[in-house]
Amino acid sequence: MFYTILHVLQGLLSESDTGKISAPQITGPHALNRGFQSFMLDKGVQIRDQGIGNKPAKAGFYVGTDERSITVKGRGENENEYVEREYIRRRQKIAEYKAMGMKHFTGDNFKTNKSCMRTLWEAQQLSSKTLSAPGTSINANLPLD
């Protein structure tokens, strides 16, 4: 899990526009696969990508980082074998998101022109009720309501 989270954070922080993040590539199954590959590489076992749609983690018992182990069940290509993906169908999900004032990541193709780091910085500044431009000493108190 450590490596998967590390790959997710590296992927998010390296994106130049938060509006263009591909969730499956950055935070989803692909990040999990990269985490698994890093876990096994610590033991000198290189697991290569199997191509689009094919997952490198085949069913079995694996020992990796610090002699820790994981058990893989089923096949990655059978994505609904253990967890039902898209249980709430897309149309209903998008309607629910809209009711909450949110957008589904596959909905509108929007561009924010903000990196993840910039977005995090702005959120931190707003939460402390102070907004200052990076590299300056100018602060402006902003009401949050």
Q: Residue 11 CB: number of other CB atoms within 10 A?
A: 18
Q: Tell me: the pLDDT tens digits for 68-95?
A: 999 988 776 676 777 777 788 888 988 8
Whether 43 and 63 have beta carbons less than 8 Å apart is answered as yes
Whether 145 and 139 have beta carbons less than 8 Å apart is answered as no
23 shares a domain with 9: yes
d(CA 12, CA 27): 8
Instruction: Find all residues with CB under 8 Å of 137, minimum gap 6, and list them.
Output: none
134 shares a domain with 98: no
Supply the range of the domain harboring residue 122: 115-145
**Across the chain, what does the average pLDDT equal?**
77
pTM confidence score: 0.62
Instruction: Give me the number of domains the chain comprises.
Output: 2
Residue 144 pLDDT: 43
